[in-house]
Chain A
Amino acid sequence: DAGVIQSPRHEVTEMGQEVTLRCKPISGHNSLFWYRQTMMRGLELLIYFNNNVPIDDSGMPEDRFSAKMPNASFSTLKIQPSEPRDSAVYFCASSSGQGANFPYEQYFGPGTRLTVT
Chain B
Amino acid sequence: GQNIDQPTEMTATEGAIVQINCTYQTSGFNGLFWYQQHAGEAPTFLSYNVLDGLEEKGRFSSFLSRSKGYSYLLLNELQMKDSASYLCAVQRTYKYIFGTGTRLKVLA
A contact residues vs B (CB 8 Å cutoff): 31, 33, 41-45, 48, 50, 55-56, 91, 97, 100-111
Contact = CB atoms under 8 A, between A and B. Distances in A.
Contacts of B43: 43, 91, 108
B76 interface: no
A43 B48 contact: no
B101 A97 contact: no
A104 B77 CA distance: 28
Nearest to B98: A43
Interface size class of B (residues with CB under 8 A): 20 to 34
A110 B42 contact: yes
B42 A111 contact: yes
Nearest to A55: B94
A86 to B, nearest CB: 19
Q: By CB atoms of chain A within 10 A, which of B30, B42, B43, B93 has the most?
A: B42
Given A45-B97, A103-B31, A103-B50, 7 more contacts: A43-B87, A45-B96, A103-B33, A105-B48, A106-B96, A108-B42, A110-B41
A97 B50 contact: no
27 contacts: A31-B94, A33-B96, A41-B100, A42-B99, A43-B87, A48-B95, A55-B94, A56-B94, A56-B95, A91-B42, A91-B43, A97-B94, A100-B94, A101-B30, A102-B30, A103-B30, A103-B31, A103-B33, A103-B50, A104-B91, A105-B45, A105-B48, A108-B44, A110-B41, A110-B42, A111-B41, A111-B42
